[in-house]
Structure 1
């Protein structure tokens, strides 16, 4: 029996001493993120990257006009015509420092999740992609859209709705005026734009082979995949002509599957097929790695007892040669003769043996622990496992794998292995089909009272690097849940990440304030929430208009929510309240409009005379120390009197509590 599926605890994977420390975990996570950015799984700037590659479909200009004039536009068109990319680019063109992007994800997939108008934030750019919605969801969203449009006008926000191709009859006569049909752009232009990004010049359309021109009439996502293969061929064969790169890449997506099916049919023995599967999953790894992965698959399937004793079988290298699995020129790593043939072979196994997929998942999971794989081999294996596992719907198997690699169930994962959980999780989060399920996994982690520190670091990492750019509100919720439960956390903490998220974006700060106010109002708050709320409330961010018409503190809804949250803090955490009040007083003293902050404090304390008195005394005492401002304290006193209906009186700041009355 091979034991590659029995590696737990602190495994030493290299030379030198072993360290399981927070900094080591973060180093691995950062390295994995950089690797995935370089490989294109994580874009360095998703919308910026899209803009460079985007070819506007027909109808894009009209959609831009409709969105500008009416704040909402409904896009429809054939599958593969670039509707979603067009929607994101329309919203990207409207971006500025005062607006934030958000996508209605759950609302697009479930009729049970309501699309309430209060989900629209001021100046937001919103996307609702209904292309995968069922009839019930489409009907529910149609009923809710008129109220949502009213909220768009009130909040000066904009919305793009992407509809299924057959969804033109979805809306009533009034909404139908917002329809714009997207027609597919030229496939040749799309391919040229992608290759130009990689520094490859595509020949003119009339110079391309007929079979390539035919392929370029397909969905745009297939053209993007073809372009990535052309780039791979160019790296492997820089001395080839462009036409040869194109031919090899096209063959990889059109011809290799048939070749793979024929080869598997020729070799019917279980051992032979297990070796082919292992060679495809571990392509470019060592021959020994292929052997042990194949052996593990045989054991998982319970087939080893049916074979002759190992010494009576053909040698592994001879078997590889029989199966046309070839070593490289140095004889160290194995592969196949044809470009991308390994991918076709993997697709054949994953697609044609649905009953064996759980075992393929388990074998791939185990293989990462194999001592015969290098770090590079492991990364390649994770990429391949996730590609084919997701394509064949093995989501729950992948979730189990991530939990094992991160070791949340055993509570003893070394830093080294968590990088592969990170890699798999990021791929899952970026998958449009199943990203929701992986975000649910992160949410489940965030609510786990016993989450290990390394997995806590992983959670913070993916929230900030992967979830926040596309789903900032979901990142906020997960970081908040984690921040509530952190005990001696490793940096960066969820608390730090939540504050960074809130203060980096005006729209996000508004949503964070709303979340805390909602928790306080509905009595769902935790003991630590006032501390978190106080940390989020940088008064300078509330006073900064950020180029908008008015600061956040001047918005009526934000102001009422600040008052509610401050009142909760005053009633329950006096130790925290008055130190935070001093911070606000300092900001008010440097502001051109101090009343924006002072009125919030007065209204929050106004429900109780004792709180108003304490607010007055705190301001008085603060005004008498270095950095204090007597004028601010005097102004606060006037506002307190005004709130109580007392006539305006000239005040001097008293030096003691007894002198604090007019």
Structure 2
């Protein structure tokens, strides 16, 4: 069983007062959002595009899309579901002369700032950058405002030398204006066998010949499958090669096709003569496949209790051996830990889908079972998170996002345990990026972010979901929510929100600039309230190596520094101020733009000069290079006041 060790301050958390104490560890929550800890969002997004590029086969119409995007800066791609239009849009943007690994994905702004009547915000268009707008999930009643805003957005895209690829559903083409209709490209379905060959080659170095692919069952599968399903088939072929005793492609393909076939009939046949306890065991393995036999046994017993199944009264020594019970459901326990798996790959998926679809009367009990999974005996953290993820997929497949957000709320109450918070993080992490229901989850966590008294555990989950899942494809939305959370009344929540803002804006200067704009707007509008908290956020996120090469960036930073200098004491300012002076001294020295920004900020309020003088010369000490920077700062600051420095005594 896995264990985690936390090393913090020597004293550790202590309990003062009455009632239960709940100490939450944010790194665990952040890691729980995804199946495994990921690299920074920008690198994750880049990995995804490179992965796609390696396996992509050009569909018909893509060349016309290339020409249109180059000529008009905007291309609208229309294709039937499953033909890969979204992937085609990403490839077009990747191939631009100044293409980037991370796109600016535009979204309907009804999800933002309490529900805007505006659909598309021109301020989100980034100079010279690729932009993606996926409208395949947009409701038909949103199309009129979306199309109206898209027409005006074209102007901004062209003015900023950017590019925009829009993905449309063919059935909505009749809603386009004449000017937009001229920008539509029909994306044809690529040749399925070419897609399969490409994936087999890249994923496994497998090169089947034409005869290998001339299988009737394969032809039928390819003709009716989406590009994603063909990709999945290739993965099963590669897996079959590594686990099968067969040495020929045909045997690997047979195994893969078997794994891809619907298994409802197989499940139906299996459970025909099974008792309630056997079905509970079957479901437990399906949701917890890979867990220990002890954990599976305990989870099955809990499911029996929740479904009010009669308790077996026979003495324990008369019970059937667990191995025999597992064999009856086509599963077995392997290794020293007795990890339980089905004998057939993907059978667990089939079992879960079968019961969810054919036993709707069981869904409430399954939901209660999942809700209490943190209390399952002998179940490890990763097994519980896998259960939540599998349950989430069922809810999202059948259009029940509200059921998932309700669980997340229950798992993030003030009394929540670390395990429950991790479960909530995994559920919401699946939800916010879902193609169909993501907007529901993004609206829900937006509401959470506006609550300044959010419980610490729920706030930690929200921050983790924004920084690890939402920020990969929707960094703008993640930033908005994290900025709201940074106004929390809880100083610990503010701290981790600021850390997350630093993380998601790292290496993304446009997003970082947008954060500075939001901070500055709040400082101007509410200097004594939330603006004061935003000054603290600025001091935490301020990076001396960014946005100083242009006048606009310098102006932003000057105003924020002026606000910080006039409202913060020396002790709070000193770490960030010293960091900026260190950066200046190690590079351009007295002529660094950092010196200019800090001097101009001082000049806006003469009362700050004394504190800055003390901090700068205290930092410089007797070091000659540092003293030259401090002298330049003092000289420029006093010159900015049009007052000679000798008039000041500090």
Aligned positions of 1:207-606 closer than 5 A: 207-208=212-213, 209-217=215-223, 218-237=225-244, 239=246, 241-264=248-271, 266-267=272-273, 270-285=276-291, 289-304=295-310, 309=313, 315-317=319-321, 320=325, 323-328=328-333, 332=338, 334-374=340-380, 377-403=383-409, 407-414=411-418, 418-440=421-443, 442-443=445-446, 446-447=449-450, 449=452, 458-485=461-488, 487=490, 489=492, 493-523=496-526, 525-543=530-548, 551=549, 553-555=550-552, 561-562=556-557, 565=560, 568-569=563-564, 572-573=567-568
- Conserved 8 A contact 2:49-2:101: no
Residues 504-553 of structure 1: per-residue CA shift (max 9 Å, x gap): 2211121112211232344373432112123333343122xxxxxxx3x3
Cα offset, 1:494, TM superposition: 2.5
CA distance in 1, matches of 2:25, 2:566: 42
Cα offset, 1:181, TM superposition: 1.6
Match of 1:157 among 158, 162, 168: 162
Paired residue secondary structure (2:486): helix
Residues 290-338 of structure 1: per-residue CA shift (max 9 Å, x gap): 444343333323343xx77556999454883794434357794555444
CA distance in 2, matches of 1:108, 1:479: 18
Counterpart for residue 8 of structure 1: none
- Conserved 8 A contact 1:582-1:618: no
CA distance in 2, matches of 1:605, 1:629: 13
Residues 224-262 of structure 1: per-residue CA shift (max 9 Å, x gap): 232333344344326553322221221232242222234
- Conserved 8 A contact 1:287-1:334: yes
Paired residue secondary structure (2:352): helix
Counterpart for residue 9 of structure 1: none
- Conserved 8 A contact 1:386-1:398: yes
Aligned positions of 1:83-162 closer than 5 A: 83-94=85-96, 101-107=103-109, 112-162=117-167
Match of 1:62 among 41, 61, 64: 64
- Conserved 8 A contact 2:470-2:478: yes
- Conserved 8 A contact 2:76-2:183: yes
CA distance in 1, matches of 2:632, 2:366: 72
Paired residue secondary structure (1:528): helix
CA distance in 1, matches of 2:118, 2:607: 44
- Conserved 8 A contact 1:482-1:494: yes
Paired residue secondary structure (2:185): strand
Counterpart for residue 647 of structure 1: none
CA distance in 2, matches of 1:236, 1:62: 43
CA distance in 1, matches of 2:592, 2:100: 23
CA distance in 1, matches of 2:551, 2:6: 54
Counterpart for residue 17 of structure 2: none
- Conserved 8 A contact 2:65-2:75: yes
- Structure 1 residues 150 and 525 mapped into 2: Cα distance closer, same or farther (>3 Å)? farther
Instruction: Give the length in aligned residue pairs.
Output: 614
| Gap runs ≥5 in structure 1 | 1-12, 544-550, 642-650
Q: 381-390 vs 344-353, which deviates more?
A: 381-390
CA distance in 1, matches of 2:594, 2:3: 58
- Structure 1 residues 147 and 559 mapped into 2: Cα distance closer, same or farther (>3 Å)? farther
Paired residue secondary structure (2:375): coil
1:51 aligns with 2:53: yes
Cα offset, 1:75, TM superposition: 1.0
- Conserved 8 A contact 2:147-2:176: yes
- Conserved 8 A contact 1:588-1:632: no
Cα offset, 1:170, TM superposition: 3.4
Counterpart for residue 182 of structure 1: 187
Counterpart for residue 18 of structure 2: none
- Structure 1 residues 241 and 366 mapped into 2: Cα distance closer, same or farther (>3 Å)? farther
CA distance in 1, matches of 2:313, 2:572: 76
Residues 35-55 of structure 1: per-residue CA shift (max 9 Å, x gap): 4769xxx87822222222222
- Conserved 8 A contact 1:620-1:655: no
Q: 334-343 vs 219-228, which deviates more?
A: 334-343
- Structure 1 residues 492 and 142 mapped into 2: Cα distance closer, same or farther (>3 Å)? same
Q: 64-73 vs 567-576, which deviates more?
A: 567-576
CA distance in 1, matches of 2:256, 2:640: 73
Task: Give TM-score, length-normalised by structure 1.
Answer: 0.78
CA distance in 2, matches of 1:216, 1:593: 66
CA distance in 1, matches of 2:648, 2:254: 87
CA distance in 1, matches of 2:291, 2:569: 62
Paired residue secondary structure (1:426): helix
Cα offset, 1:162, TM superposition: 0.8
Cα offset, 1:167, TM superposition: 3.1
- Structure 1 residues 157 and 510 mapped into 2: Cα distance closer, same or farther (>3 Å)? farther
Cα offset, 1:28, TM superposition: 7.8
CA distance in 2, matches of 1:24, 1:613: 44
- Conserved 8 A contact 2:75-2:164: yes
- Structure 1 residues 231 and 435 mapped into 2: Cα distance closer, same or farther (>3 Å)? farther
- Conserved 8 A contact 1:282-1:377: yes
Cα offset, 1:393, TM superposition: 2.9
- Structure 1 residues 508 and 375 mapped into 2: Cα distance closer, same or farther (>3 Å)? closer
CA distance in 2, matches of 1:334, 1:581: 57
Paired residue secondary structure (2:436): coil
CA distance in 1, matches of 2:615, 2:270: 82
